Chain A
Amino acid sequence: EAQVTQNPRYLITVTGKKLTVTCSQNMNHEYMSWYRQDPGLGLRQIYYSMNVEVTDKGDVPEGYKVSRKEKRNFPLILESPSPNQTSLYFCASSPLAGGGKNIQYFGAGTRLSVL
């Protein structure tokens, strides 16, 4: 089954304790992206990647890191989480070639609470 898999689905942590949210896709997609969803602010892009070893900042990259060492994986790293990073996080992937459609498929989301 084609899917984007995020882990963990739920996470409660404390300020300053490094954490990683994993994202993996089995569709051989070149493009991957992280978004966060906050009430009243909607979904905003954090980082994106056009292919292996190619990453760049989105709208709200502060406090986050990413890496793309393999095509299928795109982990989101919070080196020193703070309470304002409490949010619902989504990973998404899409192909880049083949015309305009290139739908972004989303993972199930990760609910993060930073105390």
Chain B
Amino acid sequence: AQKITQTQPGMFVQEKEAVTLDCTYDTSDQSYGLFWYKQPSSGEMIFLIYQGSYDEQNATEGRYSLNFQKARKSANLVISASQLGDSAMYFCAMRDDTGRRALTFGSGTRLQVQP
């Protein structure tokens, strides 16, 4: 079974600073995908960034980057130059690449960006 652990229930960051949201995972699968999603207070689930288990380079998408350390089973999200609109819940998720292709989500981190 797959498991995602996010150990930071809440974090604060000053506007324009960088912040790292932690995510560790557990799986016995060799092939898997790791994702980060953002859920603002309005409730929708917004895809941010993806990392495949076989990708050798860390993924980047604009201000988002994923610090992937396979041996440590960690997939931390780094947000550079935080903006007020980044205040939201952030979920790390893993997809099993066989069978159901279900996403297993962590418990989330609530990020608050302060002016």
Contacts and interface: CB of A to CB of B under 8 A. Distances in A.
Nearest to B47: A103
B72 interface: no
A43 B97 contact: no
A102 B100 contact: no
Contacts of A111: 43
A42 interface: yes
B13 to A, nearest CB: 23
Interface in A63-115: 88, 90, 92, 94, 96, 100-109, 111
Name, among B33, B42, B100, B106, the residue most crowded by chain A CB atoms within 10 Å (CB to CB): B100
Interface residues on A, range: 20 to 34
Secondary structure call for the B interface? loop
B100 A48 contact: yes
A105 B46 CA distance: 7
Contact of B102 (A33, A107, A108): A33
Interface in B80-115: 91, 95, 97, 100-103, 105-108
Given A48-B101, A103-B50, A109 B31 contact: no
A58 B100 contact: yes
B35 interface: yes
A61 B94 CA distance: 20
Contacts of B52: 100-101
A31 B97 CA distance: 13
Contacts of A103: 35, 47, 50
A71 to B, nearest CB: 16
Interface of B: 31, 33, 35, 37, 42-47, 50, 52-54, 91, 95, 97, 100-103, 105-108
9 contacts: A31-B101, A33-B101, A45-B103, A92-B45, A100-B52, A102-B95, A103-B47, A105-B47, A106-B45
Interface of A: 31, 33, 35, 42-43, 45, 48, 56, 58-59, 88, 90, 92, 94, 96, 100-109, 111
| Nearest 6 Cβ contacts at the A-B interface | A106-B45, A45-B102, A100-B52, A43-B105, A108-B44, A109-B43
